[in-house]
Amino acid sequence: MMTFAPLLLVFLPLVAAAVSFALPERLSSWRNAANLGVAFTKLLVVAYLLNATEAGLVFEWRYEFLPDNDLVLRLDKLALLFVTLSVFLWLMTTIYAIAYFDRGPNLSRFFGFFNLCVLAATGVAMSGTAITFFLFYELLTLATWPLVAHKGDDKSLRAGRIYLSYTLAGSVAFLAGILWLQSLVGAIEFAAPPDLTGIPALTLTLIFILCIGGLGVKAAIFPLHGWLPEAMAAPAPVSALLHAVAVVKAGAFGIVRMIYDVYGIGTVADLGLGLPLAALASVTILYGSVRALMQTDLKKRLAYSTVSQVSYIILGASLIGPYAVIGGLVHLVHQGIMKITLFMCAGALANRMGIKAIADLDGAGRLMPVTMAAFSVGALGMIGLPPVAGFISKWYLGIGALQSDAAWVVAVLAGSSLLNAAYFLPLLYRAWLLPPPADRPAIRELATTRDRMLILPAAVTALVSLGAGIFASLPFSPLAWVTLIAEGGYLR
Amino acid sequence: MNLLGLLVAVPLGFMVAALLLRGSGRWLILAAAPVMAGLALWLALLPPGTTLLVGNWDLPLGILLRADGVARLMVLAGALVIGAIGLHALVDPPGGKDGGAATAETFWPLLYLMWAGANAGFLTTDLFNLYVTLEMVSLAAVALAAMGSLAAALRYFMIAMLGSLAYLLGVALLVANYNTVDVTLLAQVARLDLATVMALGLMTAALLIKAALFPMHGWLPPAHAAAPAPASALLSAIAVKLGFVILLRLWFEAFPAITGSAALHVLGGLGAAAVIYGSIQAMRQDRLKPLVAYSTVAQVGYLFLAFPLVAGAVEPSSAWAGMTLHGVAHMLAKAAMFLAAGLMLKAAAGDRIADLGGLAQAMPLTVTAFGLAAVSLMGLPPSGGFTAKFLLLSAAIEQGAFLYAGVLVVGGLLAAVYLFRALSACFAPLAGAGPDTASRGPVTGGVKAVAPLALAGLAIVMGFAGTALVDVSAIEVPWATPTVIQPEVAP
């Protein structure tokens, strides 16, 4: 079990993918059962692993894939943070996707690639070497493309094309950066950071820029974010997964690994690379918020909000201080839970009532109260109101900024929170306080099993984001786990 | 006769049998594919140092067959690829739309002829013997190309003849100069004089034509695009590789002391230009098969781009492995892609990329095969193409050869542009027939997709067997013999 636990986490979604690809469309209930069964099994495995890892065990699997270059899957605490997030949100999204698509076309293909996508995200999380990370990072790109292009109309194909041109160009830069560094220090293991002494600062800086630039494409750092709003052409479950856990988080997670497990905070500080990155993240935060404010389409507004929110993680990582790291890492989880809530709600609104534009939201709260309640929790969390989880992130980031003598970051956080409020509160106002248009037929929100499967996952994630805020001080809360990570070596 | 001889004799035997049996000769592949795969696998697992002197005459009179790393990998990949192409041709006969029996009858002997020629060419170290194998393969290739377009085949024939003559002239010069044409013996006596340089120049030019390296590629796209799918697959996967392997023998085994840094960079530069030019041409095609054919022009470029990287490396084995594995990965992936493309074009409304709409629904397995092959050709992980690119890119960066590194990187992106364009078209709805899309249903049974899917799958699996393949490729590498390659400094 010690060696094979990480392999099991990769193997299980592979089984689900194979079953999904193999089953014809008419056996959709078998396919759904397989997907849910595997998702639940994986959650159980993760629960076991959380316990074992907290007790100090480290699971590792290793395979020499090229001479001197090992594929390493390693479950340290940081890996498990991301794994747990993706496994939990995957289960929710699977339930949601089954209800959302019902009996649409090409679903075998969809669920196949959907599972490959989660396989890749889990692999990214568990990667123990830079080359393993790259392998899964690319697999993620490839597995996501058919999901983005799923509908096959011109808009989706265009979105797929834009997505690929951004991400493939990014990964090429990343690969060049890794190989350049490897040519100087040998294979890069995250558990044993390479010795960078004696390498010219200019070389190290260039490599850093290549790697962060490559990873920054997926993390949607300004000005590399262009693909993300376009990818909104994808179906709602894909958007939810893309924005919450799979793609953007893989980029942000990679940046955290680069700063803390490859370069090490000492080198990053010596090279003076933290501050420019923090500044870029701040620009992205404000830019994303402003662009979000300008959107009239609900999903587009949420997309630009993601551009802004993911950079909180990068901001926290680049400030290089204990509280800032905690704030950044915990936002990796909090943003995921809150953003998936928002996207699942947006998808449910579009699916049940055809609401796509913000102007159509009037009175939605009266017709779909559960959906809008979940949406409201997510939105308030994004603004950073206590007791929702988002507050914890911003609180730690703020204190961390002060610790790192970067008081200007507090101004960025405050400005961004105001902008968040400016683009979320009008939605809530419209939904709850304005009457629905006269021609909108009344619906029963939770009439059928399918309706409940469509709406309850969002309700669950909304409750979890409340819980993550209220019970932040309990063990196994995201905050407690991230503090454990920070104590285990991130405070060097 | 030992195993090495069998690898040449058995396909020749099958060729004769196929000629005698005529129409029913096609069933021979059911025996040939497993037998040859078994022999090739045996070859790959032989202890290092296995050789055969044909006719039991010592060098320089006899002919030496030798199983070095390159030969082992090429013969094995060749056996898998040709076997799969042959089995595929059983379920999807290469007769074009008219399906004429005559073309089918000529296909099989040609397949075995190419098989025997390629195996002999990969195994032998005798430059005259290599001329014979070159002729066997060229003859088979021209005839296979003629199954599609007589005009393209004639053009191919003329230029192949020109190449053969130049090569023969080079061999003659060497015989006059050294009294031997065995690569291993030449390596011990090679000296820098006018005759040697001329011979090497003539032979290199000839082989570059056969390998279709830019700017000597002109014959390839029309010939490969017009031939029926199984023939195109043989041409792209096997025929161009032989020219490359003979060039390896010449440049790294026989004359490493003579091939200077400048000459190596000329080859590398041509390779780099081929990658860029082939990719741009592939992007400009609006029909599927020319796109795949121009992709071959680009992929051949990587093989030669690797020449200065191998010569310039302090520890050349990883660049060498990258180069060899690129050849193997391209064999598997390109054969898979041509077979898949053939099936897709039969199902599509026309031969344009825009006509591929709806195929992702109609033939998911075939499109998957195309997609997996594309992953390897783009050099994305996990795949043999990625392993090769990883090794070559590492070597280029280590040597500070940033121009080559840049081409390796950009070439992958360009490949993604043109290959995803084709894949993307498969996802589009059926062109001009909106409501019919749903009623169309799968147009091919699973059987036809098996061969391309298996080959593409192998190209992907290669990505996980890197260590083992690198070890095989290092068997009896040229610099392990007394002649040592002088390390050159890259620009």
Q: What is the mean pLDDT of chain B?
A: 86
Q: Which of B364, B420, B470 sits opposite A66 (nearest CB)?
A: B470
Q: Which of A135, A160, A179 sits opposite B397 (nearest CB)?
A: A179
pLDDT at B191: 85
B378 and B269 both lie in a single domain:
yes
Question: Could you report the per-residue pLDDT of A338-355, keeping only the tens digit for each?
Answer: 999 999 999 998 888 888
Query: Where among B236, B259, B282 does a domain terminate?
Result: B259
Question: Could you report the per-residue pLDDT of B452-477, keeping only the tens digit for each?
Answer: 999 999 999 998 888 889 988 888 88
Question: Could you report the per-residue pLDDT of B4-27, keeping only the tens digit for each?
Answer: 888 888 999 999 999 888 778 888
Question: The complex's ipTM?
Answer: 0.88
B169 and B251 both lie in a single domain:
yes
Contacts of A168 in chain B (CB under 8 A): 412-413, 416
B243 and B280 both lie in a single domain:
no
| Residues paired with residue A297 on neighbouring β-strands, in sequence order | A357
Q: Select from A343, A465, A457 the least CA-distant residue to A393.
A: A465
Q: Which of A64, A106, A135 sits opposite B361 (nearest CB)?
A: A106
| Residues paired with residue A357 on neighbouring β-strands, in sequence order | A297
State both tokens at B249: 């023998």
State both tokens at B436: 């019919």
Farthest CA pair distance, chain B: 73
Long-range contacts of A205-208 (CB under 8 A, 24+ apart): A205/A271, A205/A273, A206/A180, A207/A177, A207/A180, A207/A181, A208/A177, A208/A258, A208/A263, A208/A268, A208/A271, A208/A273
Contact (CB, 8 A) for A7 and A123: no
Q: Select from A355, A400, A392 the least CA-distant residue to A375.
A: A355
Residue B480 reports pLDDT greater than 70:
no
Look at residue B251 and tell me if it is in a domain.
yes
Tell whether A183 is within 8 A of chain B (Cβ): yes
B392 and B451 both lie in a single domain:
yes
CB contact under 8 A, B361 and A142: no
State both tokens at A101: 């698509």
Preceding amide of A223 cis, omega within 30: yes
- Banded pLDDT at B441 (limits 50, 70, 90): very low
Angle of the A4-22 helix axis to the A28-54 helix axis, nearest 10: 170
Give the span between the Cα atoms of A30 and A136, in whole angstroms: 28
pLDDT at A364: 86
Tell whether B402 is within 8 A of chain A (Cβ): no
Measured on CA atoms in the order A7, A13, A19, A22, is the torsion positive or negative?
Answer: negative
B27 and B98 both lie in a single domain:
yes
Contact (CB, 8 A) for B354 and B440: no
Distance from CA of B186 to the nearest CA of A (A): 33
Question: Which of helix, strand or coil describes residue B106?
Answer: helix
Distance from CA of A180 to the nearest CA of B (A): 6
Q: Per residue in B110-132, is it b (16+ CB within 10 Å) or e — as a string? A: bbbbbbbbbbbbbbbbbbbbbbe
CB contact under 8 A, A179 and B390: yes
Question: Could you report the per-residue pLDDT of A37-61, keeping only the tens digit for each?
Answer: 988 898 898 888 888 888 878 888 8
Q: How far is CA A338 from CA A173, A238, A475, B150, in A?
A: 31, 16, 21, 65
Query: What value does the mean pLDDT take over residues B282-308?
Result: 93
Q: Chain A window 150-179: which residues touch B at a Cβ cutoff of 8 Å?
A: 152-154, 157, 160-161, 164-165, 168-169, 172, 175-176, 179
Burial degree of A490 (CB within 10 A; 0-12, 13-18, 19+): buried
pLDDT at B484: 39
The label of the residue with tokens 């893989």 reads: A250
- Banded pLDDT at B54 (limits 50, 70, 90): low
Task: Say how many domains are in chain B.
Answer: 2
pLDDT at B270: 94
Q: Per residue in A143-179, is it b (16+ CB within 10 Å) or e — as a string? A: bbbbbbbbbbeeebbebbbbbbbbbbbbbbbbbbbbb
Residue B438 reports pLDDT greater than 90:
no
Query: Where among B259, B288, B312 does a domain terminate?
Result: B259
pLDDT at B62: 64
Give the span between the Cα atoms of A219 and A222, in whole angstroms: 9
Tell whether A180 is within 8 A of chain B (Cβ): yes
B213 and B326 both lie in a single domain:
no
B341 and B211 both lie in a single domain:
no
B309 and B162 both lie in a single domain:
no
Look at residue B207 and tell me if it is in a domain.
yes
Give the span between the Cα atoms of A87 and A44, in whole angstroms: 10
Look at residue B490 and tell me if it is in a domain.
no
Contacts of B405 in chain A (CB under 8 A): 176
Q: Select from B246, B302, B242, B297 the least CA-distant residue to B271.
A: B302
Give the span between the Cα atoms of B86 and B63, in whole angstroms: 30
Tell whether B409 is within 8 A of chain A (Cβ): yes
Look at residue B481 and tell me if it is in a domain.
no
Contacts with A134 (C-beta within 8 Å, 6 or more apart), sequence order:
A171, A174, A175, A178, B381
Contacts of B402 in chain A (CB under 8 A): none
Contacts with B391 (C-beta within 8 Å, 6 or more apart), sequence order:
A66, B318, B319, B321, B322, B325, B470
- Banded pLDDT at B434 (limits 50, 70, 90): very low
B91 and B183 both lie in a single domain:
yes
Question: Looking at chain B, how many residues does it have?
Answer: 491
Look at residue B144 and tell me if it is in a domain.
yes
B228 and B272 both lie in a single domain:
no
Residue A361 reports pLDDT greater than 90:
no
Look at residue B135 and tell me if it is in a domain.
yes
Q: Chain A window 268-327: which residues touch B at a Cβ cutoff of 8 Å?
A: none
Q: Select from A311, A299, A488, A328 the least CA-distant residue to A401.
A: A328
Residue B48 reports pLDDT greater than 90:
no
Q: Select from A296, A303, A253, A280 the least CA-distant residue to A409.
A: A280
Query: What value does the mean pLDDT take over residues B85-110?
Result: 75
Model-level pTM? 0.90
B193 and B119 both lie in a single domain:
yes
Question: Which of helix, strand or coil describes residue B320?
Answer: helix
Look at residue B372 and tell me if it is in a domain.
yes
Question: Could you report the per-residue pLDDT of A255-297, keeping only the tens digit for each?
Answer: 999 998 898 888 888 888 888 999 999 999 999 999 999 999 9
Q: What are φ and ψ of residue A376, in 5° steps?
A: -65, -40
Question: Could you report the per-residue pLDDT of A443-488, keeping only the tens digit for each?
Answer: 777 778 888 888 889 999 999 998 888 888 888 888 888 888 888 7
B366 and B434 both lie in a single domain:
yes
Look at residue B487 and tell me if it is in a domain.
no
State both tokens at A210: 């290549």
Q: Select from A330, A250, A295 the least CA-distant residue to A423.
A: A295
Question: Could you report the per-residue pLDDT of B363-382, keeping only the tens digit for each?
Answer: 888 999 999 999 999 999 88
DSSP B287: B
pLDDT at A441: 76
The label of the residue with tokens 């909180």 reads: A312
Query: Where among B259, B293, B326 does a domain terminate?
Result: B259
- What domain range is B427 assigned to? 261-475
Distance from CA of A47 to the nearest CA of B (A): 30
Residue A9 reports pLDDT greater than 70:
yes
Q: Select from B175, B282, B292, B177 the least CA-distant residue to B229.
A: B292
